[in-house]
Amino acid sequence: MTTLPNRTSSTVLAGMLAALLATVALAQTGVGGDDRPARVKPVKEVSVTDNSPVEDGAADQAERAARALGTATSEVWGMADGKRVRLHTLTNANGLVVKATDYGTIVTEVLVPDRKGRLADVVLGRATLADYVESNPYFGCTAGRCANRIAGGRFEIDGVEHRVATNNGPNHLHGGVKGFDKVVWDGRARMTPRGPTATFEYVSPAGEEGYPGTVRTIVNYTLTNDDELIVDMAATTDAKTPVNLAHHSYWNLAGHDGGSIAKHLLTIPASRYTPVDATMIPTGELASVEGTPLDFRKARSIASALEKLPGNGDDPGGVDHNFVLDRTPVDGRLWLSAVLEEPVSGRVMEVWSDQPGIQFYSGNFLDGIAGKSGASYRKHDGLCLETQAFPDSVNRQGKGGWPDVVLEPGSIYRHRMVHRFSTK
């Protein structure tokens, strides 16, 4: 977290909002050779719909330059909470497409090619905005204000207990009954020097879902011509509060309607994980993956783990665990967090991040929910790879090896996650 100088309250909030807006500039860098420490100067926007007068020939030149980066468009998709909701479409110069909506910042489609160049939509989702509002198991959203679980729906900050909703058995999950995934954000799509970008802003008032402090949040999606989907998240607060944001797409590199992900190959460079109790709350141990079904340090099929993690009673089985990443930074900032491969199509997705953990969830609770284009998503038809701080970290502040998730006034929460697509 970046700390800002002390100022008066109103000045601090204004300064923090400006700093958040500057975070958009982070999307100019990827995880390749140009991955340098973040710049904070604002991005110069390049509009592809600018109708202002131009000299003869300049319009054609501007259009060619814009096409070289891709396109960014928006359309009204419906209404939620009495607010207009838009769907934003980002297309890069290679034909990859990402669609995202103001509702929950949900990524509704990601179209990437297989080894023969054939495009497929590789994220699970629902058909319409109304469907998402009716029921959504966190498809494609930003989970927050505190992603993952908080034990007993309670935590203390400076000796004061705070209670939040218990919406997952006895525990709090992904921000509560109406977390960041179920609110309408202020979104816009535009062209930047890095590529088409959708930026979403939301102000979470103090007391929302039981959390202290007013939190201002920005989520930024950029689709680059290096075939990367960059997710940048940032937040500020006017009072101490836990902040742990996570991007929550369900992936199936065979296509969203491609059936089980069991034959996907997965690598997670993590020597340790956080064991959990019967309610999925970490025990506090940082245990070795050696000799467990959770050892993905070398690429292996997901089926090989699922076979050793069968269901039992109310437990559906499968993987839903946080991995403690072995952080080997690229230029001091990002590290490889996962590699997912679908052998038939040849699609590969690398995940890079600046976070200490990654939650691998194998879609254990998918129960036949209706998806896009008539698809029905069943158990293990999609998987999540969510870079984040460890679950229930707010209740383990100061414990060795556990991240600090309490955001303080004058500091900025930042989270970068990069999905790099390729084929083999």
For residue 248, indicate whether it is catalytic.
yes
Other CB atoms closer than 10 Å to residue 364's CB: what's the count?
Answer: 18
- Does residue 297 have a cis bond before it (omega within 30 degrees)? no
Helix (H), strand (E), coil (C) string for the chain: CEECCCCCHHHHHHHHHHHHHHHHHHHHCCCCCCCCCCCCCCCCCECCCCCCCCCCCHHHHHHHHHHHHCEEEEEEEEEECCEEEEEEEEECCCCCEEEEECECCCEEEEEEECCCCCEEECECCCCCHHHHHHCCCCCCEEECCECCEEHHHEEEECCEEEECCCCECCEEECCCCCCHHHCECEEEEEEECCEEEEEEEEEECCCHHHCCCCEEEEEEEEECCCCEEEEEEEEEECCCEECECEEECCECCCCCCCCCCCCCEEECCCCEECCECCCCCECCCCEECCCCCCCCCCCEEHHHHHCCCCCECCECCCCEEEEECCCCCECCCEEEEEEEECCCCCEEEEEEECCCEEEEECCCCCEEEECHHHCEEECCCCEEEEEECCCCHHHHCCCCCCCCCEECCCEEEEEEEEEEEEEC
For residue 321, indicate whether it is catalytic.
no
In the set 208, 342, 350, 386, the catalytic residue is 386
d(CA 16, CA 411): 8
In the set 174, 248, 256, 415, the catalytic residue is 248
Residues with a known catalytic role: 248, 386
